[in-house]
Amino acid sequence: MNQPQLPLGFVYREPPPSPPPTESEKNLLDYKFSNFDQRLDHFSFTQESYTTFPQRYAVNSNFWRGAKDNYPIFVELAGEWEMGIGTRLLAQHGVEAKALLVIIEHHYYGKSMPLGSREGAMNNATTLGYLSASQALADAATLITELKRNLSAENCPVIVFGGLYAGELAIWFRLKYPHIAMAAWWSSTPIFRSPDLNKVDEYDAIVSRGFREYSESCYQTIKASWDLIDKMAAKPGGPAELSIRFKTCEPLTSVAELKAKMKNKYSDAAQYGSSALNTFCDILQAYERETLPDPCISNAWDLFCDPNPDGSEKVCFNLNEVSPMDRPFSFQVCTEGQDQAADHRSSNETMYKYDDKEKKWDVPGHLISCVDTFNV
């Protein structure tokens, strides 16, 4: 199967892995994982629609005072990532409210694979056709209703939680299933879409503002780096030199690809908290204090190469790294416009430099990539 790149202007965002619970958090994050026999298609009556698949969910009942006095149920809807142990914020609120904590994995992500396997689910537009926000909402409604019935908790109020795309799911769930959820809580969620597709650079501006608020020097260093990279790339042997400096896994063939990957790294740092911003900015400013000529390029390895999952030595900066979540998320981008906020330009000030061809979203090109990849 073809593995797509995310269409221009759309950014797949997976939350960073949660650190292991501390001793004091063990009860807080003590979830029991289970599978729910979920229906494949909630909106048709074909024989295949009644096929089921194991949908993962997790429950923490350590702090729940039970159904007798109608203590609440907090449900975290996972988005385009593999379900983990949930957010500490949800757990902390759950402790205060003496709530049952539940996490539901989104179908087609993580281990909740319809049609028998990841390969079967991802095969083509027909097998991916059951992937949609509407189906995910119906999955959650079915699972929550059945869970409440099994716990004799039909009268316990439900509050749904979510962030990013899952935050949209939480909002839509409250609107579509008000008889199931009494409230929704969301964070980092794009609610309003810009009617002008050529003026939607809000995400870039927010990322830039995060860096600038942390350190004006850091912001200016990043802003100046794009010209440095372009000048180096234009020299004879420049791309090869950039490959060495950034320790790319493969020889650099496109400077645009390098800069796009750098943008994603900056976005991740801004989106996932001050500690990541500290890491980036402290290294950059250390280069400046040492009066290195190219502070954003020199020893770029420290900024852009991640450690191996096992914590061993860093290997290389992989510009072509593909997440298992890329294909289903790309499909949703094509069919539903799940975009985590597109990142194109108006007049907002950012720390990025844009080529002329980047100043407008290439809508025809995006549509062609969807047809080529998924025939949708």
Q: Which residue has the higher pLDDT, 236 or 289?
A: 236
Pairwise CA distance, residues 43 & 300, whole Å: 50
177-204: pLDDT as tens digits: 999 999 999 887 777 665 555 554 677 8
Q: At what angle do helices 202-214 and 255-271 cross, to 10 degrees?
A: 70
Q: Which CATH class is domain 31-187?
A: alpha beta
pTM score, two decimals? 0.80
**In the predicted model, is pLDDT for residue 295 greater than 50?**
no
The answer to whether 243 and 51 are in contact (CB under 8 A) is: no
The 10s digit of each residue's pLDDT in 256-271 is 888 888 888 888 788 7
- Mean pLDDT across the stretch 267-279? 75
CB within 8 Å of 283: residues ≥ 6 apart: 299, 302, 303
Q: What's at 336, amino acid-wise?
A: E
pLDDT (mean) for 228-239? 90
CB 284 within 8 A of CB 221: yes
Q: What is the pLDDT of residue 336?
A: 86
Answer with the residue of higher pLDDT: 8 or 253: 253
Q: What is the CATH number of domain 202-374?
A: 1.20.120.980
| Beta-carbon count within 10 A of 251 CB | 10
Q: Tell me what pLDDT residue 36 has.
A: 97
**DSSP code, position 84:** -
Domain definitions of the chain by residue range: 31-187, 202-374
Mean pLDDT for the chain overall:
80
Cβ contact 120:127 at 8 Å = yes
| Lowest-confidence pick of 59-63, 69-73, 251-255 | 251-255
**Average pLDDT, stretch 122-141?**
92
Q: How far is CA 69 from CA 98, 99, 147, 148, in A?
A: 11, 11, 17, 14
Average pLDDT (44-54) is: 89
